[in-house]
Structure 1
Amino acid sequence: MPHDTTIPYEENPNHMIIWLDLTIGDPEKCIPLKKAFSSQADPKNETPVKLRDKDYAGILDIVGPVSVAFEGVEFLFAAFTNVESCIECFEQNQDKRIFFITSGSMGEIIIPQIISKFANIFTNPETDESYNSIYIFCLNKEYHSRWARAFRNYVQIFDFETDLLSRMIHDIADYFLTEGKQLLDEDPPNYPAAKHRLTWSHELYQRYDKMGDTDNMCIMDRMEKVPVRKELNEVNELLENIDDEMASSSDEDD
């Protein structure tokens, strides 16, 4: 049964998107990716305002991340057009789960540095497995695949922005599902925090699932769509169990 709920809001999210690209401020560039971001100034606003090009220009001038919504889910977000400032951001946010978007040319410069200095950011502390949450967008996939081969456990390479966006939405949904289940495994279970993560996961899986609609068919022409019905059913079941447990706990307190 579908689980319908308002997307929850947290004061201090521990997840973050960093974007490094010389063309971020260009209104003719990165249009599909830019459409995924919207304002998160008012968490009660059911229709967030899409970020405009001047908003990205403003973000580039800000020291430190800002709060935005990525496909309706709250994220910390930082954008850069130079490698040095971007590395400094990684240095200051090593406690965050970071999803990193970079152009191919700038990725060739920065990725060896961040993996050398901050491999912990892209490594699961429980399993010691690498997160492949570095997304390279480039026009020459063959060239960039050669140097990126050394970092294949960390990177994914795309020559279409919509493919990158689709993959990233799916990966972040997976991340929130995993984090939600980990919070439920705590003793005692952290039901409110788990509900946040699972609700975000549900929203993103639904968004990914809809990317096969007519207005997005171009994505599926190039990239095989991974079914997410199993994941959606799992998230729905977990959310329903949380609601039951929280209701039961509330009854016991009365």
Structure 2
Amino acid sequence: MATTTDQQNIAEAFLAAREKKTPLTAYPGAVPETMADGYAIQDAAIARDGRRIGGWKVGRIAPELVARYGGNRLTGPIFADEIVDGADGAEPAMPVYAAGFAAAEAEVLLCFGTVEDRDHDIISVRDCIAEVRTGIEIASSPFPEINRHGPAVTASDYGNNKGLVLGPPIADWRAKDLVRMPVEFAIDGETVGAATMEAMLDGPFGSALFLIRTLRARGIAIPPGTWVSAGAITGIHEIRPGQRGEALFDGKIRVGCTITG
């Protein structure tokens, strides 16, 4: 899909705001009305950014907006230089846009192996997965109202992503009932959310299947080693510089980070 001049200008405005760390007080152009429009802006920004993509975040579209936007999920790139390994117990410092929007989310992370060029379903997509980890997605945008104008706007600024913390692996993930695994999230030691993946549509593997189909439609390859952050489990927890976030999976697997501006 060819991008319009306005879409290119929007992409450049987001890139400039991210680089200069300055907030956008208003959306920098015509608000995208469809997911195709949002992804066109995202693709223009990716092309200009030039960094290697190491993964993709997947988020849920609110049920009342599904009919309007034609689907129940959205995606955005996670750049390789913003993917940090916290599996050894270290708590990396993760930057956010202090004057924009910032949140942290407990998520299951799937690492793709080889994605064969064929149609997949919710069962066969598991064969594309080489590793499953716990983790935290950092959602942040220089536009404070990124999530208030619909999923196409969210998608237009990298899906509201600013990084990924890779937590410890789930060693027995093929045999484990991931959907019923209890997950908690705490900020500065206070629990702010607790849930399982039972409410996550068709679960983390459904997110992987959505991503394969969506990226193929956009002509984007999925090389081995690509991560997918499968969706917020306990909620989207707004967080500020100076705070500490920690996710607890299955009552025993911990992954944490500190937030910087």
TM-score by length of 2: 0.22
TM-score by length of 1: 0.23
Larger radius of gyration: 1
Structure with bigger RCO (C-alpha 8 Å, 6+ apart): 2
Going by fraction, where is helix more abundant, 1 or 2? Answer: 1
Going by fraction, where is strand more abundant, 1 or 2? Answer: 2
